[in-house]
Structure 1
Amino acid sequence: MHVPDGFINTPVSVAAGVAAAAAVAVSLRGARRELDERTAPLAGLVAAFIFAVQMLNFPVAAGTSGHLLGGALAAILVGPYTGVLCVSVVLLMQGILFADGGLTALGVNVLNMAVVTVVVAYAVFRGLLRLLPAGRRSVTVAAFAGALLSVPAAAAAFTALYALGGTTDVSIGKVVTAMVGVHVLIGIGEAAITAATVGAVIAVRPDLVHGARRLAAPLKLRVGGELVDAPAPVAAPVPAAARSTRKVWLTGLVTALVLAGFVSFYASASPDGLEKVAADKGIDAKAEEHAAADSPLADYGVKDVADARLSGGLAGVIGVGATVAVGTGVFWAVRRRRAQDLTAASTAAPSAG
Structure 2
Amino acid sequence: MHVPDGFLDAPTSLATGVVAAAGVAVALRGARRELDDRTAPMAGLVATFVFAAQMINFPVGAGTSGHLMGGALAAVLVGPWSAVLCVSVVLLVQALLMADGGITALGTNVTLIALVTVTVGWATFVVLRRVLPLRPASVPIAAAVAAFISVPSAALVFTGLFAVGGQAPVDLSLVVAAMLGWHTLIGLGEAAVTGLVVASVMSTRPDLVYGARPLLAVRTLEIRMTRAGAAS
**1:20-39 to 2 correspondences below 5 Å:** 20-39=20-39
**1:141 — aligned with what?**
141
Match status 1:67 vs 2:67: yes
Structure with greater Cα Rg: 1
1:219 to partner: Cα distance: 1.9
Structure 2 letter corresponding to 1:199: A
The match for 1:172 is 172
Per-residue CA distance 1:300-333 (angstroms, 9 max, x = gap)? xxxxxxxxxxxxxxxxxxxxxxxxxxxxxxxxxx
Q: Name the SS for the 1:69 alignment partner.
A: coil
Query: Offset of 1:44 from its aligned partner?
Result: 1.3
Instruction: Give, in whole Å, the separation in 2 of the partners of 1:211 and 1:34.
Output: 11
Amino acid at match of 1:72: A
What is residue 95 of structure 1 aligned with on the other side?
A: 95
Contact 2:78 2:210 survives alignment (8 Å): yes
Query: What is the Cα deviation at residue 183 of structure 1?
Result: 0.3
CA displacement at 1:194 relative to structure 2: 0.4
Task: Extract structure 1 runs of 4+ deviating beyond 3 A.
Answer: 229-233
**Partner of residue 192, structure 1:** 192
Structure 1 residue 219 corresponds to structure 2 residue 222: yes
Aligned length: 226
Structure 2 unmatched ranges of 5 or more:
none
Amino acid at match of 1:219: E
How many angstroms apart in 1 are the aligned matches of 2:28 and 2:226?
A: 39
Distance 1:75 1:232 in 2: 35
Q: What letter is aligned with 1:164? A: V
Amino acid in structure 1 at the alignment position of 2:85: L
| Cα distance in 2 for residues equivalent to 1:165 and 1:213 | 42
Helix, strand or coil for the counterpart of 1:59? strand
> What secondary structure, in the 3-state scheme, does the structure 2 residue paired with 1:136 have?
coil
Give a deviation string over 1:59-111, Cα, whole Å, max 9, x none. Answer: 11121111000001100000000001110000000000101100000000000
Q: RMSD over aligned Cα, in angstroms?
A: 1.6
Please report how far the alpha carbon of residue 231 of structure 1 lies from its aligned counterpart in structure 2 after TM superposition.
7.2
> In the alignment, which residue of structure 1 is the partner of 2:16?
16
What is residue 326 of structure 1 aligned with on the other side? none
Q: Whole-Å Cα distance in 1 between the matches of residues 223 and 101 of structure 2?
A: 53
Q: Bigger relative contact order, structure 1 or 2, given CA contacts below 8 A and separation 6+? A: 1
| Mapped partners of 1:11, 1:232: distance in 2 | 63
CA shift at 1:118, angstroms?
0.4
Q: Do residues 42 (structure 1) and 42 (structure 2) align?
A: yes
Q: 1: CA distance between counterparts of 2:33 and 2:158? A: 30
% same residue: 61
Q: What TM-score, normalized by structure 1, do the two folds share?
A: 0.62
Paired residue for 2:205? 205
Q: Residues 276-287 of structure 1 correspond to what in structure 2 (within 5 A)?
A: none
- The residue number in structure 2 matching 1:106 is 106
CA change 1:232–1:29 in 2 (3 A) is farther
| 1:221-266 CA-partner distances (Å, limit 9, x unpaired) | 9xxxxxxx55779xxxxxxxxxxxxxxxxxxxxxxxxxxxxxxxxx
Q: In the TM superposition, what is the alpha-carbon distance from 1:170 to its structure 2 partner?
A: 2.4
Partner of 1:151: 151
More helix by share: 2
Cα distance in 2 for residues equivalent to 1:82 and 1:153: 20
SS in 2 for 1:65: strand
Deviation at 1:173, TM superposition (A): 1.7
Once residues 223 and 105 of structure 2 are traced to their aligned partners in structure 1, the CA distance between those partners, rounded to angstroms, is 54
For 2:39 and 2:178, the matched residues in 1 are separated by 39
Q: Distance in 2 between matches of 1:142 and 1:71?
A: 14
Could you report, residue by residue, the CA deviation over 1:145-193 in whole angstroms, capped at 9, with x for unpaired residues?
0000100001111111111111133221221111001000000000000
Q: Supply the AA of the counterpart residue of 1:100.
A: D
Q: Which stretch shifts more, 101-110 or 57-66?
A: 57-66
